[in-house]
């Protein structure tokens, strides 16, 4: 089982910080966001990681190299333009195992990736309590399955485990993930869990400053 870190986005809401620095290289307490994920994945036994690149991707490649210093092998999936989440995963499928972990490169969390190693559903999502910027949430969890119907909704953390079959038949190109998740929730084919520990979507300079302060 390997993992993919999504690192291709432009980070529009983080400007001007991301005008010259890709979002995953922004630092929390002196360490780039993406390095926290690499260390956490290596700790649970992941040895191969795919990182997709687009905006200022050369900086990420230069910073991480081949992954040796993290105890990993890093492969890169180059995108001429950012393909959004599902599009980026589809493009990288040849580099991914039959089961793989995906995490957004711009979240900061203490989630234990070991919880995803034995997941067998076509997709398994990690949800979090709704932050202030998403008070309505995204999906509910009913009997361990993602649902569009429940009253108590949660926010998708950007962390998940997938099987390749979840993306079978999808053509390459720009494609968001949300429609696939919504369809899977309707069909009750996606499992989910709620993480109530540390999690932050580092989506604005203010959130980054708060992390570095608190």
pTM of the model: 0.94
Where are the extended beta strands (E) located within the chain?
2-6, 27-28, 31-32, 48-53, 73-78, 99-104, 107-109, 123-128, 139-142, 145-147, 153-163, 190-194, 199-201
φ, ψ for residue 140, nearest 5 deg: -100, 165
pLDDT tens track for 177-211: 999 999 999 999 999 999 999 999 988 888 888 88
Average the pLDDT over 44-56 and give the result.
95
Q: What are phi and psi of 61, to 5 degrees?
A: -60, -45
Beta bridge partners of 193: 126
pLDDT tens, position by position, 135-145: 999 999 999 99
Q: Any idea what the CATH number is for the domain that residue 149 is in?
A: 3.90.550.10
pLDDT score, position 17: 78
pLDDT digits (tens, 9 = 90+) for 1-16: 999 999 998 877 878 8
pLDDT digits (tens, 9 = 90+) for 80-108: 999 999 999 999 999 999 999 999 999 99
Range of the domain at 151: 2-213
pLDDT (tens digit per residue) in 119-158: 989 999 999 999 988 999 999 999 999 999 888 999 999 9
Band (pLDDT 50/70/90 cuts) for residue 163 is very high
The answer to whether 46 and 3 have CB atoms below 8 angstroms apart is yes
At 154 the pLDDT is 98
Distance separating alpha carbons of residues 192 and 214, to the nearest angstrom: 29
Q: How many domains does the chain have?
A: 1
């Amino acid at each position: 089982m390997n993992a993919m870190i999504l690192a291709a986005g432009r980070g529009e809401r983080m400007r001007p910080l991301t005008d010259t620095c890709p979002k995953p290289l922004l630092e929390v307490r002196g360490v780039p966001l993406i390095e926290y994920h690499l260390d956490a994945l290596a700790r649970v036994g992941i040895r191969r990681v795919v990182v997709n690149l687009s905006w200022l991707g050369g900086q990420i490649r230069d910073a991480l190299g081949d992954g040796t210093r993290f105890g990993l092998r890093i492969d890169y999936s180059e995108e001429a333009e950012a393909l959004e989440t599902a599009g980026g995963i589809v493009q990288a499928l040849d580099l991914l195992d039959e089961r793989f972990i995906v995490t957004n490169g711009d979240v900061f969390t203490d989630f234990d990736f070991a919880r995803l190693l034995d997941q067998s559903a076509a997709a398994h999502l990690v949800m979090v309590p709704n932050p202030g910027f998403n008070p309505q949430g995204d999906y509910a969890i009913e009997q361990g399955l993602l649902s569009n119907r429940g009253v108590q909704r949660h926010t998708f953390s950007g962390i998940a485990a997938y099987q390749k079959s979840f993306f079978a038949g999808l053509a390459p190109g720009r494609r968001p993930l949300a429609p696939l998740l919504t369809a899977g929730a309707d069909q009750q084919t996606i499992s989910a869990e709620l993480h109530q520990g540390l999690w932050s979507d580092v989506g604005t300079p203010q959130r980054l400053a708060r992390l570095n302060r608190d």
